[in-house]
Amino acid sequence: MLTFDEYQQRVIAAVRPLPPRSVAATDATGLLGLVTAEPLRSRVPLPGFTNSAMDGYAVLAADIRGAAADSPVSLPVTGDIPAGDTRSLRLEPGTCWRIMTGAPLPDGADAVVQVELTDGGTDTVAIREAVDAGCAIRHRGEDLEPGDEVLPAGTLLLPRHVPALLSAGVQEISVIPRPRVAIVSTGDELVEPGQQPGHGQVVDSNGPMLAALATECGFEVVAVRRVGDTGDEVREVLTELAAAADVIVTSGGVSAGAFEPLKLAFEGSGSFDFVKVAMQPGKPQGFGNLDGTAVFALPGNPVSSLVSFLVFVAPATRVLAGRDPQLATVGARVAEHWVSPPGRQQFARVIFDENGSVVRPIGGQGSHVLGGLAGSQALAIVPADTTEVAVGEALQVIPLEGLA
């Protein structure tokens, strides 16, 4: 039997980031969740032109040096400069332009007086306060100069990066592509979701659940299939999928029964390992390499499948995506006692108490209990040597929301 850490390290060490690909930088939403493979440098200065930071009046600061509430300075207003004005304009000393936020500053002006410090006039304006040269001006290139690094290599692209990405003047960006994941459910007992299961049959819920997990983790699901319990069928379908996927995730068919199709297909093939891991749930695990595609053979009980996906498939596939392997964990205290099997690291389904820092167990911890799974909010990680999880104990938990 392997410890949990030994097996997790083994699957993480078996994979490498996918080769980078150049994609259109303008597809900002399509890039979200991808990791940059090279630094992004601005091609242009930002701002691209010197402009006003306020709605107000572009002036020469020297012209309004003496302005005060009891002795305002009046200036003739040459005209309006709205945002988007593409004219090249000049300010003559002793005059001003009414100017809007983001509009280009006329040549010769060195300050903007915000409208609140004036009477808002359109022919002439009375200015009630002096400002310093440079006031309310955003200078060309003050944010970024051409060649400045906007995003380092290895950046996970998030909504906050979109403005810099779209404004940097680059057409293409090199990113690690989204790992392509194929899902295969095994079991002669499975019927398609939506069909009425007969006696002895169950709905294939793992396939859609694993597809949903992969999607939530930011991977691309390229196939969701169902196969029966023969080694030949499993080998045939997996070989076909290996050509189109970076990762294949199967569920079922890896434990100790008489008809375990993953084992029938690949045990002893040299490129697959079927092991027992000291964890609960999820003890039987298989991992292999099929024509360069990583294959995770997860146990079939839905809870075991979900836990195995989160602690093995997600970390390894995040490595393919150029990311840190581990999903986020948070610390929490135990509010209600539960038991954990000796010698096995437990992933217990728990819910948070109101303040989010305290957890209690939910439902039975049997790996077939779907009601408890649906109600759970996190997996509490109980070390292998703990058998009684005591009230007040501090644990790490993996929240089940927001896996991206």
Q: Which stretch binds Mg ion (CB under 5 A): 60-68, 69-77, 209-217, 247-255?
A: 247-255
Which of the choices Mg ion, ligand AMP, none does residue 393 contact, using the CB cut-off of 5 to 8 A by kind? none
Which listed residue (187, 207, 218, 315) binds Mg ion by CB under 5 A? 187
Which of the choices ligand AMP, Mg ion, none does residue 177 contact, using the CB cut-off of 5 to 8 A by kind? none
Interatomic CA distance for residues 162 and 28, integer angstroms: 6
Shortest Cβ 363–Mg ion spacing (Å): 23
Closest CA to 136 of 179, 163, 183, 102: 102
Find the binding residues for ligand AMP in span 206-245 (CB under 6 A).
Answer: 206-207
Which of the choices Mg ion, ligand AMP, none does residue 340 contact, using the CB cut-off of 5 to 8 A by kind? none
Shortest Cβ 190–ligand AMP spacing (Å): 5
Which listed residue (72, 106, 252, 361) binds Mg ion by CB under 5 A? 252
Interatomic CA distance for residues 346 and 338, integer angstroms: 11
Interatomic CA distance for residues 248 and 268, integer angstroms: 19
Which of the choices ligand AMP, Mg ion, none does residue 193 contact, using the CB cut-off of 5 to 8 A by kind? none
CA atoms within 13 A on the CB side of 27: 11
Closest CA to 309 of 385, 379, 377: 379
Find the binding residues for Mg ion in span 57-76 (CB under 5 A).
Answer: none
Shortest Cβ 215–ligand AMP spacing (Å): 17
Which of the choices ligand AMP, Mg ion, none does residue 3 contact, using the CB cut-off of 5 to 8 A by kind? none
Size of the site for ligand AMP (CB under 6 A): 18
Which listed residue (23, 100, 162, 202) binds ligand AMP by CB under 6 A? 202
**DSSP class of 164:** H
Is 77 strand, coil or helix? strand
CA atoms within 13 A on the CB side of 281: 23
Which of the choices ligand AMP, Mg ion, none does residue 106 contact, using the CB cut-off of 5 to 8 A by kind? none
CA atoms within 13 A on the CB side of 147: 0
Q: Which long-range contacts (CB under 8 A, 24 or more apart) does 63-68 make?
A: 63/93, 63/94, 63/96, 64/113, 64/127, 64/130, 64/131, 65/130, 66/130, 67/127, 67/128, 67/129, 67/130, 68/128, 68/129, 68/130
Would you tell me which residues interact with Mg ion (CB under 5 A)?
187, 252-253, 300
Would you tell me which residues interact with ligand AMP (CB under 6 A)?
185, 187, 189-190, 202, 204-207, 251-253, 255, 257, 299-302
